[in-house]
């Protein structure tokens, strides 16, 4: 699969300027992803997928992002839905007391992914961000299922996915936050709000939800599981972006090298120093991302694993922004022209530190943790 | 005049998003500048202008840039033409042996500026950058004047100015580089190449020149003066941008403060620390710009003055980029939306270090100088 | 006086390594200062002094620190005592309702300074730092005066000064914090606790106080003035160090230049870039210090003046540490040998950000202020 | 063995302040190392050693450095001698045409190490640094052996080692640089020149050499092998320090955490942010060091391996200095007192970027390499 990702990256790169300019969904990239079977990356082999680990995913996300970070970010959402579903093993399901229908629904959703269906995530809301505890989108039980009403924001790939993971709060019991897999179609309306500095092709528009879904759309078949899943799989909430931004940073170094060599500027010491330092920084951030991913697979949920997840997010975000800025400075004014890879990468890279958990939040969490505190320390950013 | 600049800045700011989005020349801003009399800023009082010093100019450029950096950059070109012309005093003209017609031409050009005519600069060329010694645009004496042929790049305001300062090399004597004031019209063709990351509204397009001008268009009336003027007024080549980028940096701090207060995020210590450090950095860079400007007025051409010019350029460029990046990080994802001031300021600010002399070049020059070397030190960037 | 400071600086520099090595009080430097008349720097002319402004002081502190930062820091304490005393003008004394004896005591203390008496400051305490509101040293009225008991820390020049400014809290009324001028001698015991990374020659030892002073030792002649004075003259609490650390930073650049030239390493671009960037940073921090000082003189107590004081302290501290570290890296391993100026300057420079108000605290204050908050904002560091 | 290193580290830490203060060789640490068998770390099992890989070494050096970086640096020299000797396998010896006696001498030297003999390195010279091609220490063949004459500098552990690896140039053929294992004793004179900012306990004094050694002291038994060995094992020249400096950086984070917790300052957001960012930076640099070490073992000499070696050195040096400076700032003034771990660590950490290859040189090499150049690129630092 990683070979496939490497094959696709240059194709993505060749299309990236156009999608970026228009803020358009990368239709051809997603056709490539579907054809390559990558929609089944996280799907277990018994359901027709590649059964990839989180580390496999991180390696692939890095490669895809070297082609187009925006495409990799949308793909990340699909991977997080399928990865989290696949993470609910039969053993875990039994421990959580999930009903048999929920396991069948899980298998159906995963099998469909392996066959080319893809999922987006509609979790964040204005005001609440991605904090589950603050959501206002509400659902209520109705005859034969649930009615969900609310408004989501930052929904990457909105209007193009086959179904959406929608988080909502029970109107009957405010303490319950549940997740639903809502198929595209009536009841979902895209409001095209995404016109951003960077990562423009993610089309992370607002999604207005007023839809009734059958009971089987409730993930896990039991209400109130959203927070449980978030705590079991925090890497999908925080760290899976990290691989994308390291890929963007590496693409910036590569683009600067190509530009400098074309212009025969490699004899200038200041440029060499910038490229050398950037290369080392990207290489180190990449190691951190892969270390976090390896630990997520081997020791999920451990305190040290979570620390690596935060370190990876922090380092990826700060490195991407710093490296892209320095590479543009190394390349010079001519690389500022729109259509030049560095012009886009500079804008894309800036988003890394801003996506939750932000760099400042990760630094605080790591500091609290190093000092022996916990997530509820006074003044520290809340986690969910 | 500075009060006038402060009055105009919010008007520029209100229009900046639109001009930026379209990469359009800021027509209304320039109408405001004309109406305010600022085209005569550098014109001596005896010719109807405000007779401003370089320090006056720097203070005004800072204020204008707080509104729109791109507008301030175009205005900077007009100021540099009029400022350099005004700098050729009668005494200097006599010392240089300039003919009387040249003084009349100078006065005509300046008087016209005071009356609303404005000038752009067509100096840089692909490959040569802004280095006079590398230009390939050529002129030859023809009956009644000169024919100039070549191609210019990074010509801010191209297609909108009333006349252009064009630098060219004598076809007859390659060692002579001269400057001409070429009126808009036939013989000048704008190729719309400027579609850039930042400072989009400067419209710094390519300008193709194939024009015959009367003898009076030759600035100074004597061939080969371009380098002399550059050496007499290096601040117009290097430092006048600096005030613009400090203005951009201050605008980024102001925009972040407004955004953070609107969202009631001021209680977050990481945000406060970012704003506090940014405020201090911008304030210091501003002092450096004003110190350089003061010295340009009081002790032009002295070694310490030149050092201040380089320091100002270095500090303004690096501060603007760092501050804008940090302010966007302080404000968060919502400030990445196009149309938000910080989204534009982040892109505009990046250009500062890249404009010649780049930050890396300024650092090298300062280092060479501190070590007692000179501009011809081995491996150092050439100055002109 | 500034010429005198420039004359002394190389003498201080020549002795600095020895005092630093031994952590010894710079006896000869202080003999020079006394002989030069600099003890009377802040003393009004009518009392035999130079009547210097705060800006004069800042310029002189910068020059002295280029010779030896530790000597300049001790001198700073004397200047702050005499400067604060001189700042209590007759008009202010009347407004505060100070008794006539207090004015005579003030004049006596200042006249003595002009004649060569010098003062140290014993304010900070373990646990309380320099926060007046947290002091535990106590005084009580006794027959004919006051008895003061407590322990002070970070008392620069302890054991060498002629008298000490001691801040203490009234045992009878905890809300009253007063200051006394306590002559050296019995009742003051130095505990040699100062053996520090940098600024070793300041001898900032602990001072144990158990002394009875006559009533005239109470500054102002009225109890409870300490906080008033601090609020009237915060620059002496925060910003007067700033000039010292900029002097240290400039000394580091100068030492690196000398070292690099001696070793003929000036052709290396990485070294040139380090020196060039350091030069610009130090020059900008110097401007900020002088701007703060100018405003303290012209517009004391204004909000913008206080902001400049914090900016100066923040920029001086961070610049000194960064510059000294980079200059040592430019000079290379041989400059790490003890006795090399850069080895000492690297250690001395580190202290700048740590002295109150620390860089992190200044950044927070500036951020709170920029956001329109005040010193009592939730979570912000308290000011006194 | 790594467990042993972890057991020793706190013992080293407890002694570090004293050795640092006195600039004294860490006698007790070396007694511990001998007793623990760590002198045989790099010795093959067949000769009584632990047969460690380079990655094993790097892991152990990191742990030792968390106790005392200076001790770890001296140990690094012994490890590099034994590691390089062990790296001359029988296969390699045959390929190089080494005589049988040389293999016996190799085995004798290694077996002795396993039994407690330890080696220092006397390579660098004033003016030449560690560049083999510039050495001036000379040897000539004499009856029954070689006479070596010259002066070495930066010889860590000088006066305490059992033997010294001495690099010298053939007087008869300037192109030949050879290495000798010279036993302590007559003919080696220590000049106590090492009195440095940091890493004081390494006792990296000058060593004056005027000694005659038997033929068997010539390593490899063939002249001119020094450069060959350097090219085969560049990691011992460049990267083995890296693990030490990452250990120092981690020790700084640990010391700051302990200090901040003791003083109950962990609620301050600025301190938490500093510790969080430092933790992430150290963790990433550690990964880079371990990745370089793993590749040295698995793919020695490959271009990508060498790049990792440079990245490791660059990241370790810059991270150590930055982290130690920030941790001291987090801890505050009280941590500046001599004897406080952070006071020492701040000084020790500064040496990392300065040891060859310096950070600036590594950045240049990485930049040249990324741009497709080679070590002979114009203006680039020479490698040997």
Min Cα–Cα distance to chain B from A105, Å? 35
* Cα of C113 to nearest chain D Cα, Å: 30
**Tokens at C256, concatenated:** 């690196």
Looking at residues A238-259, what average pLDDT do you find? Answer: 95
**Helices within D23-148 (DSSP H only):** 27-36, 54-67, 69-87, 90-96, 100-114
* Closest chain A residue to D258, measured at CA: A371
Residue A183 has pLDDT above 80, yes or no: yes
Segment holding C18, helix H or strand E: helix C2-22
Provide the pLDDT for residue D237.
67
Predicted confidence (pLDDT) per residue in A218-230, tens digit: 999 999 988 787 7
Percent of chain C with pLDDT over 70: 97
Distances (CA, A) of C339 to B245, C15, C16, D195, D196: 42, 10, 9, 9, 9
Please count the other Cβ atoms lying within 10 Å of the Cβ belonging to residue A34: 15
More confident residue, D90 or A383: D90
What mean pLDDT value characterizes chain A? 94
How much is the average pLDDT of B232-253?
88
> What does the pLDDT read at residue D255?
98
Phi, psi of C178 (to 5 degrees): -125, 165
DSSP character at residue A195: -
What does the block give as tokens for B10? 């919010």
Rounded to whole angstroms, the Cα distance separating C76 from C81 reads 9
Tens digit of pLDDT for each residue in D95-142? 989 999 999 999 999 999 999 999 999 999 988 777 888 899 999 999
Q: Are strands C145-155 and C163-170 parallel, antiparallel or unpaired?
A: unpaired
pLDDT value at A383 more than 60: no
Kindly write down the DSSP assignment for every residue of A267-321, as one continuous string: T-HHHHHHHHHHHHHHHHHHHHHHHHHHHHHHSTT-HHHHHHHHHHHHHHHHHHH
Beta bridge partners, A210, equal A149
Q: Which residues of D touch B269 (CB under 8 A)?
A: 269-270, 273
Sign of CA dihedral C230, C303, B248, B36: negative
Question: What pLDDT, in 10s, does the model give residues D354-366?
Answer: 998 999 999 999 9
Angle in degrees, 0-180, between the axes of helices C240-262 and C303-331, rounded to the nearest 10: 20
Q: Under a CB-based contact definition with an 8 Å cutoff, are residues D152 and D206 in contact?
A: yes
Residue B195: pLDDT band (50, 70, 90) is very high
CB contact (8 A) between residue B363 and residue A270? yes
SS3 A95: helix
The answer to whether the CB atoms of C329 and D195 lie below 8 A apart is: no
pLDDT tens profile C121-148: 999 998 878 788 889 999 999 999 999 9
Residue A70's H or E segment, with its range, is helix A69-87
What is the CA angle C222-C224-C228, rounded to 5?
A: 105
Cα–Cα distances (Å) from D311 to A58, D288, D360, D372, in that order, read 22, 7, 11, 17
Domains of chain C (ranges, CATH numbers) = 2-118 (1.10.540.10), 120-224 (2.40.110.10), 233-370 (1.20.140.10)
Kindly list the distances between the CA atom of residue D88 and the CA atoms of B111, B182, D44, in Å, as whole numbers in the listed order.
Answer: 84, 75, 11
Asked whether the predicted pLDDT for residue B375 surpasses 70, the reply is no
- Judged against a pLDDT cut of 60, whether residue C379 lies above it is answered with no
In this complex, do B367 and C311 lie within 8 Å of one another by their Cβ atoms? no
Mean pLDDT to the nearest integer, C39-63: 97
Contacts of D119 (CB under 8 A, 6+ apart): D77, D78, D81, D82, D109, D113, D161, D162, D163, D164, D165, D181
> What's the average model confidence in pLDDT over B277-303?
96
Interhelix angle for D54-67 vs D69-87, to 10°? 160
Write the CB contacts of D175 (distance below 8 Å, at least 6 apart in sequence).
Answer: D224
If you search the block for the tokens 């009584």, which residue do you land on? D48
Which residue of chain A is at minimal alpha-carbon distance from D376?
A267
Question: Is pLDDT of B29 > 90?
Answer: yes
Residue to mutate among C265, C267, C270, with most A CBs inside 10 A, is: C270
User: Which has the higher per-residue pLDDT, D210 or A239?
Assistant: D210
Minimal CA separation from C381 to chain A, in Å: 14
User: Which tens digit of pLDDT belongs to each residue from D63-83?
Assistant: 999 999 999 999 999 999 999
ipTM: 0.94
Judge contact between B320 and B247, C-beta under 8 A: no
pLDDT value for D235: 77
b/e D281-294 (16+ beta carbons within 10 angstroms → b) = bbbbbbbbbbbbbb
Task: Please state the rounded mean pLDDT for residues C225-241.
Answer: 78
pLDDT at D42 over 90: yes
Per CB-CB distance under 8 Å, the chain B contacts of C279 are: 307, 311, 366-367, 370
- A384 pLDDT higher than 60: no
**Tokens (6 digits) for C279:** 């030069």
Task: Return the residue in D261, D277, D278, D326 with the most chain A beta carbons within 10 A, the one to mutate for interface testing.
Answer: D277
pLDDT band at C291 (very low <50, low <70, confident <90, very high): very high
- Rg (C-alpha) for chain B, rounded Å, is 21
Q: How far apart are CA D276 and CA A360, in angstroms?
A: 9
State the maximum Cα–Cα separation within chain A, in Å, rounded to a whole number.
73
- C-alpha B256/C-alpha B341 separation (Å) is 9
Report which DSSP code applies to C216: G
A247-255 average pLDDT score? 98
Least Cα distance to A179 among A233, A115, A112, A239 occurs for A233
**By the 8 A CB rule, do D99 and D137 touch?**
no
* CA dist., res. C154 & res. C158, Å (int): 9
Helix (H) or strand (E) holding A180: strand A177-183
Average of per-residue pLDDT values in chain D: 94
List, for residues D131-160, the tens digit of each pLDDT value: 888 899 999 999 999 999 999 999 999 999
- Residue of chain C whose Cα is closest to the Cα of B304: C283
Give CA separation, B220 vs A166, B88, B90, B175, in Å.
72, 9, 11, 17
* CA distance to partner chain B, nearest, from residue D220 (Å): 42
Length of chain D measured in residues: 384
pLDDT 10s digits, A311-334: 999 999 999 999 999 999 999 999
Crossing angle for the helix pair D341-354 and C303-331, nearest 10 degrees? Answer: 60
- Segments of chain D assigned E as strands: 119-122, 138-142, 145-155, 163-170, 177-183, 188-191, 205-214
- In the predicted model, is pLDDT for residue A3 greater than 70? yes
Q: Widest CA span of chain D, in angstroms? A: 73
- Alpha carbons within 13 A on the beta-carbon side of C14: 7
Element (H, E) at C104: helix C100-114
- The rounded distance, in Å, linking the Cα atoms of C59 and C246 is 10
Nearest CA in chain A to B203: A337
Q: Produce one character per residue of B221-256: b if its CB has 16 or more CB atoms within 10 Å, e if not.
A: bebebbbebbebbbbbbbbbbbbbbbbbbbbbbbbb
Query: Is the pLDDT at B320 greater than 90, yes or no?
Result: yes
Which of A127-136, A164-173, C110-119, D49-58 shows the lowest mean pLDDT across its residues? Answer: A127-136
Which one of C339, C352, C360 makes the best mutation probe of the D interface by having the most chain D beta carbons within 10 Å?
C360
How far apart CA D353 and CA C325 sit, in angstroms, is 10
Strands B145-155 and B138-142: antiparallel
- What would the mean pLDDT of A145-173 be, rounded to a whole number? 97
Instruction: Give the integer Cα–Cα distance in Å for A114 and A50.
Output: 8
Quote the tokens at residue C208: 């144990």
Report the pLDDT averaged over residues C184-213. 97
Residue-level pLDDT at B378: 53
Q: What is the average pLDDT value for chain C, to the nearest integer?
A: 94
| A245 in Cβ contact with A252 (< 8 Å) | no
Question: To the nearest whole percent, how much of chain C has pLDDT over 90?
Answer: 88
- List residues of chain D with CB under 8 Å from any CB of chain B: 269-270, 273, 379
Q: Which two tokens stand for residue A231?
A: 């705590």
- Report the C-alpha dihedral over residues C51, C54, C56, C58, rounded to 10 degrees: 140
Q: How far apart are CA B369 and CA B355, in angstroms?
A: 21
Q: Quick one: chain A helix, strand, coil %, rounded to 5?
A: 60, 15, 30
d(CA B207, CA A70): 35
β-pair partners for D337: C196
When scoring C123, C276, C354 by the number of chain D Cβ atoms within 10 A, the one with the most, hence best to mutate, is C354
C315-372 pLDDT per residue, tens: 999 999 999 999 999 999 999 999 999 999 999 999 999 998 999 999 999 999 999 9
- Cβ pair B159, B180 in contact under 8 A: no
Position B270 pLDDT exceeds 80: yes
pLDDT at D127: 80
| Mean local confidence (pLDDT), D46-57 | 97
pLDDT band, residue A373 (cuts 50/70/90) = confident
> Minimal Cα distance from A380: which residue of C?
C379
Is the model's pLDDT at A33 over the cut of 80? yes
Residue A64 CA from chain centroid, whole number: 12
Q: Which helix (H) or strand (E) holds C209?
A: strand C205-214
Residue B43 contacts residue B113 (beta carbons within 8 Å): yes
pLDDT at residue D198, rounded to an integer: 97
């Amino acid at each position: 699969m990683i070979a496939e990702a490497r094959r696709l990256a240059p194709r993505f790169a060749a299309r990236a300027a156009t999608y970026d300019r228009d803020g358009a969904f990368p239709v051809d990239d997603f056709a490539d992803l579907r054809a390559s079977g990558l929609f089944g990356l996280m799907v277990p082999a018994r359901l027709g997928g590649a059964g990839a680990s989180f580390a496999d995913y991180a390696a692939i996300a890095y490669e895809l992002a070297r082609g187009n970070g925006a495409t990799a970010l949308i793909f990340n959402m699909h991977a997080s839905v399928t990865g989290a579903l696949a993470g609910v093993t039969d053993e875990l399901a039994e421990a959580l007391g999930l009903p048999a229908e929920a396991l069948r629904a899980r298998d159906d959703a995963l099998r469909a992914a392996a066959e080319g269906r893809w999922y987006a995530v509609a979790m964040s809301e204005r005001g609440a961000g991605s904090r589950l505890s603050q959501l206002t989108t509400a659902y209520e039980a109705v005859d034969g299922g649930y009615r969900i009403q609310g408004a989501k924001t930052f929904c990457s790939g909105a209007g193009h996915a086959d179904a959406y993971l929608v988080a909502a709060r029970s109107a009957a019991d405010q303490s319950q936050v549940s997740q639903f897999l809502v198929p595209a179609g009536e009841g979902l309306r895209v409001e095209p709000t995404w016109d951003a500095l960077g990562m423009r092709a993610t089309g992370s528009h607002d999604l207005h939800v007023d839809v009734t879904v059958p009971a089987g759309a409730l993930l896990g078949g039991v209400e109130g599981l959203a927070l449980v899943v978030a705590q079991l799989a925090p890497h999908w909430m925080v760290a899976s972006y990290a691989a994308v931004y390291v890929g963007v940073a590496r693409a910036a170094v590569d683009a600067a090298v190509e530009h400098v060599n074309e212009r025969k500027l490699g004899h200038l010491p200041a440029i060499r120093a910038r490229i050398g330092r950037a290369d080392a920084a990207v290489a180190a951030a990449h190691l951190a991302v892969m270390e976090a991913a390896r630990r997520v697979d081997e020791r999920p949920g451990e305190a040290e694993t979570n620390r690596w997840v935060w370190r990876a997010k922090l380092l990826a975000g700060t490195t991407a922004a710093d490296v892209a800025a320095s590479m543009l400075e190394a390349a010079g004014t001519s690389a500022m022209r729109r259509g030049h890879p560095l012009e886009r990468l500079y804008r894309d890279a800036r988003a890394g530190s801003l996506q939750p958990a932000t760099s400042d939040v990760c630094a605080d969490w790591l500091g609290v943790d190093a000092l022996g505190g916990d997530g509820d320390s006074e003044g520290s950013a809340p986690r969910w």
